[in-house]
Structure 1
Amino acid sequence: MSDKAKLSADMIMVGKQLPVDVYHRSGMLLVKQGHYVLTPEQKQKLLEHGQLENSAKAALVEKELRERRERQEQERRQAENQIINPLIELDQLAHKVGSLLNRYFQAPHFSHDVHLVVNKLLLLADKQPDGLIAACLLVPFTDYGSMHSLHTAAMLAILGRRLNLPQKEMQVLLSAALTMNIAATKLHTDLTKQDSPLDASQKADMYAHPLLSSAILRDLGVDDDRWHLLVQQHHEEWNGSGYPYGLKKEEIDPGAHLIRLTDVLTSLLVTQAHRAGRLPSIALGRMFKGEFSEFDPRFIALLIKELGIYPPGSFVRLANREIAVVTHRPGDANTKHPRVAALRSANGEMYGEPLPRNTRTAEHAIAEPISLKEAGVRPAFLIKIWNT
């Protein structure tokens, strides 16, 4: 076997130094490493007549791989350290997820794209958990079907941190949450605008969507069996009344139960044609009482503890009649005193910028939760609150 290898065009750059010694076919050294290639003609002659030692080629390949890994690591660190605004990030993710779920067969790298969204959500949950919760409540949208899946995955990222779930488990849970309704994304959007009950065709599509979603994911190249199991079971109920299998509590994957929990919560918060969205504090309270479904009380308690009675992004009226937005959860176990910023005075005048208030004082204690509509605030006005 020859100890020489051919040069490739990408090894020789006009105006730059040669990275290796170049030999003639006879074995004679043509140009030493470090020599500058000055013209395209010189490069062409080296490609036609030059060779390099196999050991040099292997070292060069290894060097390129090492440099690529170092660049990737540097880019990863830069991405983690840069200031990220969760409201802007979630809005961008909404467009990405909307395209993935509504035009999935036009996505040549579907699984990879889903993982990119999952990784971004996990990063936001780690670096900006309060802002991510706020973004779920504040970022406007038009396509409910895809945004609901994104909200469910975002809340799972928050809850998963509280549960200290392993990274691999978080990845598959969020992937399943994002794609659980891929077969019925449009149907979910249509139903938010419909004030009449589901017709027979819609019922059939709804009952079929967990299995059909799994089938679509197979066609898109998803071969993770756990991912499919979670998608198939995300509408199963502990009492056996769920679908498509009618499984009982002990037969349901705990991860599917977690997805179902965040699925129900996020759907309750959104205004639909037949009902107004519930205030977060009311939705959490009614879920705790078991009014919407039977859930593991430990998970409900953790969810309430993680989000707080007044989650970031929700609105409150203070004792002095100011209207404020909740910006961050309390730093301790006392969920009645989150950090807030006043937006309107007692007489309804809008402040020029959000003003921090201490809810532990009598004057600025929280009197009651209110809706976004009552607050009368454009979400864009609040973006800078979570800039850091």
Structure 2
Amino acid sequence: MTIDPTHYRLPDSLFVQNRLLQHGDWHFALSDKFRQRLYAPHQGKPLPPVPARQPNALQEVQALAAYFGQLLYLPPPRLQGEDIDALLARLQALLRHAPDGAIAAIMLCPWQDYTAQHGINAALLAGLLGPALQLPPDEQHSLTLAALCMNLGSATLHNELARHEGPLSTSQRKRLEIHPLVSSALLRELGFDSPLLHPCVLGHHERFDGNGYPFHLRQEQTSPLAQLLRVIDISTAKLMPRSYRQPVPAQRALAQLYTQGGEQFEPRYTTQLVKLLGVYPSGSFVRLASGDSAMVVAQGEQLNQPQLAPLRALEQRLAADGSTIASQLSVQVEARHLHKLGPLWPLPA
């Protein structure tokens, strides 16, 4: 699918013109004054050490989210593309060894820095969906990088919004509407210039009906990767808590996305997402017909037949069938609980 780059023109409002420049197709850059303002609160912060590898998927995701939460606020060239590449390599290793653990981490790990946790979770989901959809390797890489860094230029804003209930202020709305442009510009500063990557980042908030932002494009004017990234972004946000609400239960979140397929999302993307997560995603809690509670550890051959671990004996495994699970449970997990649940998804030493 060929996307016409002439649709991606810098909006002409003074707010945008004072912050961003356009140098060519898909190529946006920060103005010097805006760049200085963006990083002024974070001057002098050093590059953090890479965290040690952790023994299980939950602890690995926690460690990498904390690390990414420090990288987010470093300006290029203090932050370099190789730092992002190394983080992506760690996430890919986790996905190879514990794909169910990656889904469980999305479901379970509480956030300290919302933007960082959202980026890690979205990259994990992208790393699972890309192969499931049989995307070519270059598209898989661009999608995962875009998922990790789509909010690179708005870390502070997204952390504000994770704690904000109610209408956005004028300033928040304007900053939100330009963040795809800012993130794309910063990815270029880091040395990422793939022609697949930037239309994906720039278009991930466009809607099929043209009511998205920042360009107000319709379905045929946005890249398929951007449309897929929008599904990943929205589903990740639904599955994560905010300070003012609990996460949307997985079954409800998936049902909302699935029923909007065709109208707001490409149906094959939402269908594959449902297949990937299952009716009971890894890391979710269920009540058994026996009255006991259990944790979903892995997906089975059928969407509604996952592998379970009873909470009273996590070392045991149950293969669910149609009569095993009575209902899904909503359980709030705190960081202090993860050391007990983490060994369900071990990683190699």
TM class by smaller structure: 0.7 to 0.9
Change (3 A) 1:106 1:382: farther
Unaligned runs of 5+ in 1: 1-81, 344-350
Deviation of the 1:103 alpha carbon = 2.1
Change (3 A) 1:178 1:376: closer
Classify the secondary structure of the residue corresponding to 1:141.
coil
Unaligned runs of 5+ in 2: 1-52
- The aligned residue for residue 386 of structure 1 is 345
CA deviations 1:278-325 (Å, max 9, x no partner) are: 111110011111199711111111110111011101111111111111
- The aligned residue for residue 31 of structure 2 is none
Classify the secondary structure of the residue corresponding to 2:310.
strand
Deviation of the 1:113 alpha carbon = 1.4
CA distance in structure 1 between the aligned counterparts of 2:138 and 2:204, rounded to whole angstroms: 19
Deviation of the 1:366 alpha carbon = 0.9
Classify the secondary structure of the residue corresponding to 1:174.
helix
Of structures 1 and 2, the larger Rg is shown by: 1
- The aligned residue for residue 331 of structure 2 is 372
Which of 304, 329, 347 is 1:336 aligned to?
304
Change (3 A) 1:212 1:376: closer
Q: Which amino acid in 1 is paired with 2:146?
A: A
Deviation of the 1:166 alpha carbon = 2.4
Which of 214, 217, 233 is 2:203 aligned to?
233
- The aligned residue for residue 254 of structure 1 is 224
Alignment TM-score, normalising by the size of structure 1: 0.71
Contact 1:286–1:292 (Cα < 8 Å) also in 2: no
CA distance in structure 1 between the aligned counterparts of 2:74 and 2:334, rounded to whole angstroms: 36
Deviation of the 1:377 alpha carbon = 8.7
Contact 2:108–2:333 (Cα < 8 Å) also in 1: no
CA distance in structure 2 between the aligned counterparts of 1:376 and 1:185, rounded to whole angstroms: 22
CA distance in structure 2 between the aligned counterparts of 1:374 and 1:150, rounded to whole angstroms: 18
CA distance in structure 1 between the aligned counterparts of 2:148 and 2:97, rounded to whole angstroms: 21
Which of 64, 70, 76 is 1:105 aligned to?
76
Alignment TM-score, normalising by the size of structure 2: 0.79
Contact 1:115–1:171 (Cα < 8 Å) also in 2: no
Change (3 A) 1:106 1:87: farther
State yes or no: 1:210 paired with 2:180. yes
Deviation of the 1:121 alpha carbon = 2.0
Classify the secondary structure of the residue corresponding to 2:91.
helix
CA distance in structure 2 between the aligned counterparts of 1:185 and 1:237, rounded to whole angstroms: 23
Change (3 A) 1:291 1:160: closer
Contact 1:133–1:312 (Cα < 8 Å) also in 2: yes
- The aligned residue for residue 85 of structure 1 is 56
Classify the secondary structure of the residue corresponding to 1:123.
helix
Classify the secondary structure of the residue corresponding to 2:76.
helix
Change (3 A) 1:83 1:271: closer
- The aligned residue for residue 154 of structure 1 is 124
Between 178-187 and 82-91, the greater mean CA deviation after superposition? 82-91
- The aligned residue for residue 129 of structure 1 is 99
CA distance in structure 2 between the aligned counterparts of 1:147 and 1:179, rounded to whole angstroms: 11
Contact 1:269–1:278 (Cα < 8 Å) also in 2: yes
Aligned length: 295
- The aligned residue for residue 276 of structure 1 is 246
CA distance in structure 2 between the aligned counterparts of 1:313 and 1:293, rounded to whole angstroms: 30
Which of 162, 173, 177 is 1:192 aligned to?
162
Change (3 A) 1:360 1:375: farther
Change (3 A) 1:116 1:322: same
Deviation of the 1:101 alpha carbon = 1.4
Classify the secondary structure of the residue corresponding to 1:210.
helix
| Identity value in percent | 34
